[in-house]
Amino acid sequence: MVYNNFMKKQISDKVINRLTLYHCILNDYIKKGEEYISSSQIASLLKIDDSQIRKDINLLNNSGKSRVGYITKELKTSIETTLGFSKNKRAYIIGAGNLGMALAKYDNFANYGLNIISLFDNDPNKIGKEVNNKKILDIKDLPIYVWQHFIDIAILTVPSQYAQSTAKFLVNTGIKYIWNFTPVILDVPDDVQVWNENLMGNFLQFTYNIN
């Protein structure tokens, strides 16, 4: 849990995660032209308790509560404001393999304030090409690029064996946030934050109860 400033409420990771799931459902409802949604409709889709959902939503300002349910558009905006989607973050992807390409194509990120500017790779066959309007650039040019652009986040999708050396290279260019999709635990200085996208951890949480 973190405090960003005095205005920001303390919201736990679990709640943040659920709020983004409600946000997905709201997108869908709004697309279908639904003006209202009830906590029990959300509960039945996510198979979690009604009261939990109401509790989460109560953390938001202007949750759009009305007599016939929450107003879909207001609740959606409220989640966006609370979680800070409006504060845009700029990112680049390091490694234009299948995973890097998949993330570059994932347009949903922009809806949440994550703008992927470009990709970097060392493969001459990839450098210069475009994916989803994002150029694949030469990794050698990264230091100059970081110096020219203000970039918040590096998304690391290189093969495992290059993860640590690439992380070291990123740190030397001045990057402070790494979203790590490799299964390697990176050794970085204390002022660099790494978020490990721990797919195996997630998988094991899921399958822990499959016999």
**Binding stretches for a second copy (CB under 8 A):** 2, 4, 11, 13, 16-21, 23-25, 28, 45-47, 83-85, 87, 89, 97-99, 101-102, 105-106, 108-109, 112-114, 152-153, 160, 177, 179, 183-187, 190, 193-211
Query: Which of these, 64, 67, 18, 66, lies nearest to 43 by C-alpha position?
Result: 18
Return d(Cα 78, Cα 62) in angstroms, integer.
Answer: 6
Q: Which DSSP state fits 207? A: H
Pick the closer one to a second copy by CB: 1 or 68.
1
Pick the closer one to a second copy by CB: 5 or 148.
5
Shortest distance, CB of residue 96 to a second copy, whole angstroms?
10
Shortest distance, CB of residue 157 to a second copy, whole angstroms?
8
Pick the closer one to a second copy by CB: 19 or 139.
19
CA–CA distances in Å: residue 103 to residues 166, 170, 189, 198:
18, 19, 26, 16
Furthest-apart CA pair in the chain: how many Å? 60
Shortest distance, CB of residue 32 to a second copy, whole angstroms?
11
Distance of CA 30 to the CA centre of its chain: 22
Rg (CA), the chain: 20
Shortest distance, CB of residue 43 to a second copy, whole angstroms?
12
Pick the closer one to a second copy by CB: 67 or 195.
195
